[in-house]
């Protein structure tokens, strides 16, 4: 039996799933030019594959997935090494204009506005944590141990190779702190490339694992009081000459004035876009204090409880502090769409620069030991404790809603409210299992 080499055009939706259409590889050039058909109501597909109704689109309308050649990735899908070409698309309306509800267009517009108003651009990298679902009983996972590396050396080696082949520039692979937990990181890249890579990484990782007969999950939490799987988004700022401008050795904690305003914007609007960054009901079990995920809304130095962390610098020979220095947003997870998350971080940061917000209080040291009064004095705010509360905060924020086309905001809220109802109808064990299976 013959097997046709295929290429696939993809978008990623509000459930953070890559979806698209495949065609013959030899017709790739044709589809690069023409794109392929798409349906507005696809934006209302939830994490479990159903179209949520009502949604603003119904059965009406047509769109096109228009591939962006800069995002082409090649993936070996099986042992023969046979390559499948993947490409990410912007969603266009039939008259050839970007669709205002397209998540990738959302990020592109945020990038363009940041550049137009400030001359700045964002360099970013997404760190992903995930867990092996099948507990073999072997001593996986003793964190960072050689034992764990060796136990999963097939997975680690194959994964790094697949990400490398796909052009994702893998950086680090490590057994993490949680039970059966691993982490994979990629090199920093300009914002759109970094978010594109995050879309690919999740799909490629699941595929590599399943081709080895393993199941993994990026679900934010897989058991009660278990470790959390975070997506930590690193950002730094660059000017039009390509100079990194996050670092200023003459300022407190080396954070430049403009990066301080950018950070202040992220903190100011943190509750408003929290639902976009951590988009499942389960996400909020992870986002609790004393879990090293993000235990409060503050800017922290060397503190893994901070929503936004100033990452440390190291004086290694030849170190480039300007380039190295970055902020880490810790409150995202893999139930969120990378284009929307980074788009919101840029939008919020831009508001901070526009409003000329001063650098927020930088909390150093251990925040866990602080009393309620001390937390308040430092301006530490709690993260919304449920997805429902986070959606309320989004709805209340006129500024954050303005970032979104009205139908995009409406669809996001409808999909997520429906998901809350669906998740609430499940027993706790079944809920963990459903999210582990989906993500």
Q: Which residues bind Mg ion (CB under 5 A)?
A: 183
Q: Are 187 and 100 in contact (CB under 8 A)?
A: no
Contacts of 258 (CB under 8 A, 6+ apart): 118, 120, 237, 245, 353
Could you give the C-alpha distances from 50 to 46, 97, 220, in angstroms and in order? 6, 28, 21
User: What's the burial of 186, exposed, middle or buried (CB within 10 Å: 0-12/13-18/19+)?
Assistant: buried
Residue 260 binds which entry of Mg ion, ligand GLU, none, with Cβ cut-offs from 5 to 8 Å by kind? none
Site for ligand GLU in 386-425 (CB under 6 A): none
Name the segment binding ligand GLU (CB under 6 A); options: 84-92, 222-230, 370-378, 379-387: 222-230
Specify the residue, 194 or 408, whose C-beta has the smaller distance to Mg ion: 194
Could you give the C-alpha distances from 181 to 186, 237, 306, in angstroms and in order? 17, 31, 21
Specify the residue, 111 or 222, whose C-beta has the smaller distance to Mg ion: 222
Q: Under the criterion CB under 6 A, does residue 286 sit at the interface with ligand GLU?
A: yes
For residue 104, which of 229, 6, 7, 19 has the smallest C-alpha distance? 19
We find the least distance from the C-beta atom of residue 134 to Mg ion, in angstroms, to be 21
Specify the residue, 73 or 221, whose C-beta has the smaller distance to Mg ion: 221
Residue 265 binds which entry of ligand GLU, Mg ion, none, with Cβ cut-offs from 5 to 8 Å by kind? none
For residue 184, which of 199, 202, 167, 166 has the smallest C-alpha distance? 202
Q: Are 349 and 266 in contact (CB under 8 A)?
A: yes
Q: Select from 40, 170, 230, 384 the one that contacts ligand GLU (CB under 6 A).
A: 230
Cβ of 392: how many Cβ atoms within 10 Å? Answer: 15
Residue 206 binds which entry of Mg ion, ligand GLU, none, with Cβ cut-offs from 5 to 8 Å by kind? none
Name the segment binding ligand GLU (CB under 6 A); options: 86-94, 108-116, 225-233, 409-417: 225-233
Q: Are 308 and 383 in contact (CB under 8 A)?
A: no
Q: Under the criterion CB under 6 A, does residue 228 sit at the interface with ligand GLU?
A: yes
We find the least distance from the C-beta atom of residue 294 to ligand GLU, in angstroms, to be 7
Q: Under the criterion CB under 6 A, does residue 234 sit at the interface with ligand GLU?
A: no
Site for ligand GLU in 292-311 (CB under 6 A): 292-293, 304
One character per residue 164-203, x = contact with ligand GLU (rule: CB under 6 A)? -------------x--------------------------
Burial 30-56 (b: 16+ CB within 10 A, else e): ebbeebbebebbbbbbbbeeebbeebb
Name the segment binding ligand GLU (CB under 6 A); options: 69-77, 139-147, 226-234, 381-389: 226-234
Given the rule CB under 6 A, which residues bind ligand GLU? 129, 177, 227-228, 230, 286, 292-293, 304, 330
């Amino acid at each position: 039996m013959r097997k046709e080499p295929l290429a696939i055009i993809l978008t990623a939706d509000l459930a953070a799933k890559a979806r698209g259409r495949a065609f013959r590889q030899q017709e790739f050039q044709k589809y690069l030019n023409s794109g392929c058909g798409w349906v507005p109501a696809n934006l209302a597909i939830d994490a479990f594959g159903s179209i949520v109704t009502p949604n603003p689109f119904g059965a009406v309308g047509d769109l096109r997935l228009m591939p962006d050649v800069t995002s082409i990735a090649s993936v070996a899908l099986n042992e023969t090494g046979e390559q499948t070409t993947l490409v990410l698309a912007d969603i266009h309306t039939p008259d050839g204009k970007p669709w205002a509800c397209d998540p990738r267009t959302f990020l592109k517009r945020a990038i363009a506005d940041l550049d137009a108003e400030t001359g700045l651009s964002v360099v970013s990298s997404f760190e992903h944590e995930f867990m092996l679902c099948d507990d073999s009983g072997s001593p996986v996972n003793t964190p960072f141990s050689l034992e764990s590396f060796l136990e999963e050396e097939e997975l680690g080696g194959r994964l790094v190779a697949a990400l490398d082949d796909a052009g994702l520039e893998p950086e680090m692979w490590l057994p993490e702190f949680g039970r059966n937990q691993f982490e994979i990181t990629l090199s920093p890249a300009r914002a759109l490339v970094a978010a594109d890579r995050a879309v690919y990484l999740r799909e490629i990782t699941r595929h590599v694992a399943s081709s080895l007969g393993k199941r993994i999950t990026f679900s934010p939490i897989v058991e009660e009081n278990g470790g959390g799987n975070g997506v930590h988004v690193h950002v730094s700022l660059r000017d039009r000459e390509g100079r990194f401008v996050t670092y200023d050795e003459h300022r407190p904690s080396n954070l430049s004035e403009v990066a301080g305003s950018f950070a202040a914007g992220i903190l100011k609007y943190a509750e408003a876009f929290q639902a976009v960054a951590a988009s499942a009901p389960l996400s909020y079990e992870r986002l609790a204090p004393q879990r090293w995920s993000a235990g409060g809304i503050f800017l922290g130095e060397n503190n893994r409880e901070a929503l936004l962390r100033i990452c440390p610098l190291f004086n290694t020979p030849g170190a480039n502090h300007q380039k190295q220095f970055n902020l880490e947003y810790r409150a995202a997870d893999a139930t969120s769409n990378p284009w929307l998350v980074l788009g919101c971080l840029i939008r919020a940061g831009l508001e901070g620069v526009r409003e000329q917000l001063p650098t927020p209080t930088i909390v150093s040291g251990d925040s866990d030991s602080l009393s309620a009064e001390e937390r308040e004095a430092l301006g530490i705010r709690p993260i919304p404790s449920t997805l429902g509360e986070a959606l309320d905060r989004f709805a209340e924020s006129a500024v954050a809603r303005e970032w979104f086309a009205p139908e995009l905001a409406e669809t996001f809220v409808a999909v997520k409210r429906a998901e809350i109802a669906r998740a609430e109808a499940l027993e706790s064990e079944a809920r963990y299992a459903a999210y582990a299976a989906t993500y």
